[in-house]
């Protein structure tokens, strides 16, 4: 299979405006498709904005809601898959739960996978969201097994190892990484890619964001630094601190060769790890 050209959209969209975020997405999808990309990855909570306070409840929608339909239309029109973050309302009317979710839409407009963030970070997220309980969510795209997690999830090595054992080739990580934790983007993400022998697309927001209702943590300063890291630990592309559209290649042949040369997964001794809680 030819490499999958993957576009990383480092942008905070238009916080509080779904229509504004969709316009940013449409423009980026056009540029990505013109450059030959087959996949566009957006940041955490891209559709609505991240630090939007009580607007989370107002803007949350089910996985098959109007935002999903609009993203599907963009994906079909530009002929590429799109991964976007959004606040997901549980479809059960009595539940009342809202999840910090990310959904992958295929180039034909079909919904390929929907993931709910399992590890919530800080007071803001714990105030508004319910944690998901499905650790490994995957889909098939362009001959690759695609996995999804969100931001803080990737900082737990158990999470990424679970994806490696489930055969994930490319892990998509929409994120809202903030100051002063930029070492995660700079150092941790490439190590996760190497120790688990996969590609990791880590796609961040940028700039300052926050409202009076954002929670005890107040305003957030997102650090950018989005990257595509390979199974050899090398960063294929890296953004700066501002808005940017990156393009990188996910090469199945390189992935296979790297896995053949690196024995981490084969050399595991799971029987020794049973005492770990």
Q: Which residues are catalytic?
A: 44, 117, 151
**136 φ/ψ angles, rounded to the nearest 5 degrees:** -110, 115
Helix axes 157-165, 189-196, angle to 10 degrees: 30
Task: Give Cβ neighbours of residue 229 (< 8 Å, ≥ 6 apart).
Answer: 189, 190, 192, 193, 194, 199, 200, 202, 235, 236
Q: Check if the beta carbon of residue 61 is closer than 8 Å to that of residue 72.
A: no
Alpha-carbon distances of 8 from 26, 37, 57, 156, 246, rounded to whole Å: 14, 10, 27, 22, 5
């Amino acid at each position: 299979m030819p490499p999958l050209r993957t576009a990383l959209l480092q942008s905070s969209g238009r916080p509080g405006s779904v229509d504004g975020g969709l316009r940013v997405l449409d423009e980026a999808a056009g540029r990505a498709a013109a450059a030959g990309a087959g996949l566009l990855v957006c940041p955490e909570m891209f559709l609505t904005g991240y630090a939007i306070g009580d607007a989370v409840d107002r803007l949350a929608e089910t996985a098959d809601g109007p935002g999903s339909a609009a993203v599907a239309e963009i994906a079909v029109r530009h002929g590429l898959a799109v991964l976007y973050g959004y606040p997901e309302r549980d479809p059960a009317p009595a539940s009342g739960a809202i999840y910090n979710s990310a959904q992958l839409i295929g180039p034909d407009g079909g919904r390929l996978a929907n993931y709910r963030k399992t590890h919530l970070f800080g007071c803001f997220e714990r105030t508004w969201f319910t944690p998901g309980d499905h650790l490994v969510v995957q889909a098939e795209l362009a001959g690759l097994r695609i996995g999804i997690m969100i931001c803080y999830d990737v900082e737990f090595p158990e999470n990424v190892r679970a994806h490696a054992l489930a055969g994930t080739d490319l892990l998509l990580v929409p994120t809202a990484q903030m100051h002063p934790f930029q070492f995660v983007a700079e150092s941790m993400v490439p190590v996760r890619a190497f120790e688990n022998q996969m590609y990791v697309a880590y796609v961040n927001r940028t700039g300052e964001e926050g409202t009076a209702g954002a929670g005890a943590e107040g305003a957030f300063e997102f650090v950018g630094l989005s990257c595509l890291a390979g199974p050899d630990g090398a960063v294929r592309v890296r953004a700066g601190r501002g808005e940017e559209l990156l393009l990188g290649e996910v090469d199945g042949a390189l992935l296979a060769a790297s896995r053949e040369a690196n024995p981490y997964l084969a050399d595991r001794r799971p029987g020794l790890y049973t005492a770990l809680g």
